[in-house]
Structure 1
């Protein structure tokens, strides 16, 4: 690369580092530390607080308060994924405020890995839940006899292993360089690899899972329509809300990634899109506990208790699926 050539903006991980694949770093693509970075830092702090507290509460309820079941295994794993991601948000906050990566190479790689681990594990778990519900609806007797916590735990472990493998490119492409008196954690894509990695993340971490989820939903809807049972629809409302929320939060991120991959010319739109995509993707990790609280049935004696609402939501899903 010519040392005088201005670098093109890079599709970032959603830790907001927008430095490109550079062999000779000269000029960062986005040098202005405008108010959007302050907003990002504030949003990160809010998501961190809500995400750690909310998902921690779900982990406590699903892991220790409720009886072990297949459904609580799914929701416990979702909460662990979001809790893990939220726990690493302070690194991004410090980086945004200081405009300097002070945590070293290994943490540069690991924070990015954890972020994509959250993305892949969340969508894979939603696929697992959808397939599980589809099987329950289509083959209720078989599901009653074959579904077990042990099998569910094995499936969750496999999902996490596959998610870790899918997230591994971050370990190889993330680098730290010293530029204009500051340390920069950036994506150093080997030649020709950016399109492969971005496309893989979109196809495997978004498109294919949602095609599977939609297929499961069509089967479930047709079956329920035949049964004409209102009660049989109850165990799917939390799952539906989780899937819709994930879709809304992650769609902007992938759209911007694909726009940049196709050399979209308007850099200001890309920068704004990166900020919005980062906000939505980050916010998704703290929303699930509120979905449980808002959708779960109220307890007559504890109608305002968040604990009770989350517990009722998970229990209702579990009891409805069993029925």
Structure 2
């Protein structure tokens, strides 16, 4: 039996064409497939990804670039028609492992994202730059970290929601603190995604919704009284109450002092008195002390939550809802009475 000789290492000096040496190539391309001595699968995978990425970029001019381009259905058809065949071409001839599949699946995400982040400046109008700025704004991990270490979908959605709510709650609080018209509104419980006690205590009926709308305008300072009209017209219009002609019609006067509205508030003031006297907490403000301070009583009617935060009022949740319900009816009654008197004047 003849034993074949061992293969010797082939070097460039082993091949000559005439007097010229012929170099030995370790890779060659045949019908679009790169043949290599080593790492043939990895080389072809990178080549397919590179080819697909170039194809994607070449389609940008057709509108394949986001929400202001072609419709998503058209983009998907373009991807299936032009990009996907170039990714998959010749891969059936190789034995691919899971990490090869992962790299191919991320061609439209990680590869493009990394390239855009690395090449675009902060002043660029690129969508990727805009997203990176949003991440910084909401104090979330940068796009680079996200690509390197992608978070779990559920935890990411939760963190994004919390970050956005926190950011806009702080922004809203800062804006509200600058508004003098919100001096009667309790801002301590202000939070994105929650509603004010005024709305959460309302039943689902049209009457309560209408009453709540009037009280909201009073709390937020958007209910136009004569004092506001005079102020907006640079005092060319008198601020005196058009109903009783006694003093300026500001919030305290409208809620408690105007004699023309006495019959519209009497019933509800008595009801509010009973509610306050039913509070057994010794730390609570008595009704007599509230009546002696029109400012505090007005605050109780508009938003009792402010008095609770200031430790002036201490009551149960049930009592707070009763106060809210009574004050809502009072505000609506005053509004109806004021409108009726003004409209009846010649």
Length-normalised TM-score, structure 1: 0.25
Q: Which has the higher contact order (CA 8 A, sep 6+)?
A: 1
- Larger % of helix: which? 1
Length-normalised TM-score, structure 2: 0.24
